[in-house]
Amino acid sequence: AQSVTQLGSHVSVSEGALVLLRCNYSSSVPPYLFWYVQYPNQGLQLLLKYTSAATLVKGINGFEAEFKKSETSFHLTKPSAHMSDAAEYFCAVSVESNDMRFGAGTRLTVKP
Amino acid sequence: EAGVVQSPRYKIIEKKQPVAFWCNPISGHNTLYWYLQNLGQGPELLIRYENEEAVDDSQLPKDRFSAERLKGVDSTLKIQPAELGDSAVYLCASSLNRGTYEQYFGPGTRLTVT
């Protein structure tokens, strides 16, 4: 069965610094990969998704992620962190229209 | 376009009491999901509906949990009786159909069992 592992339950960056949130997946067939963001007391919002087209995927709020099959990774990046980026981020995988499996999440803190 | 609506947003009950959560998906979305999210963890699927049919309920604890989706639109998730360990956030999501992959989430219902 497919799964994802998010490395680092907490990440702290300064405002304006690079954001890097790590996600590795496990799947025996080509996966579909997603990043979701969750603000306090809210549901999950889709940031971006990889569905076997371009390996570099651009999402909302300046985020992007690169699918690397050789490394089984789908890391999320943003060149310059903003205070409003502070939230919980979830990586998820789906295979052949099966349901999504979510990682445990990474809490991003942005320091002024 | 309205998003996924859930109510109530918060619920506090005593153990052994029943509780119900309601979800209204995005109009036209055939697939509806209920997820359980424990504190500090990602969502875990409880049940998935394709229209009014529950097609994946393997993770639903059927001794105390039940769900229904009348007329393939709104859905209700019930717990009876609730246990302390049921304290969590219950998320509802919908998608146009199973093949579209993109799921839209509601704000969730935070349940506290005392």
Summarised one tens digit per residue, pLDDT across range B51-85 is: 999 988 888 988 999 999 988 899 999 999 999 99
User: For the CA atoms of B91, A107, A86, A90, what is the dihedral angle to 10 degrees?
Assistant: -50
- Contact present, A25 and A33 (Cβ < 8 Å): yes
CA distance A104 to chain B (A): 5
Is 70 exceeded by the pLDDT of residue A97? no
**HEC states along chain B?**
CCCCEEECCEEEECCCCCEEEEEECCCCCCEEEEEEECCCCCCEEEEEEECCEEEECCCCCCCCEEEECHHHCCEEEEECCCCHHHCEEEEEEEECCHHHCCCEECCCEEEEEC
Partner-chain residue, chosen from A43, A49, A90, that has the shortest CB–CB distance to B102 = A49
- Contact present, B33 and B92 (Cβ < 8 Å): yes
Find tokens 């579909």 and name the residue. A32
Q: Is B42 in contact with A32 (Cβ distance < 8 A)?
A: no
Find tokens 């996600």 and name the residue. A23
Helix (H, G, I), strand (E, B) or coil at A62: helix
| pLDDT at site B1 | 66
Contacts of A32 in chain B (CB under 8 A): 101
| pLDDT at site B48 | 92
Distance CA A45, CA A106 (A): 15
Mean pLDDT of chain A: 92
Q: Is A51 in contact with B106 (Cβ distance < 8 A)?
A: no
Q: Which stretches does DSSP call E strand in A42-86?
A: 44-50, 56-58, 64-68, 73-78
CA distance B54 to chain A (A): 14
Search chain B and give the residue with CA nearest A93. B101
**A 7-66 near B (Cβ less than 8 A):** 9, 32, 34, 36, 41-46, 49, 51
| pLDDT at site A29 | 83
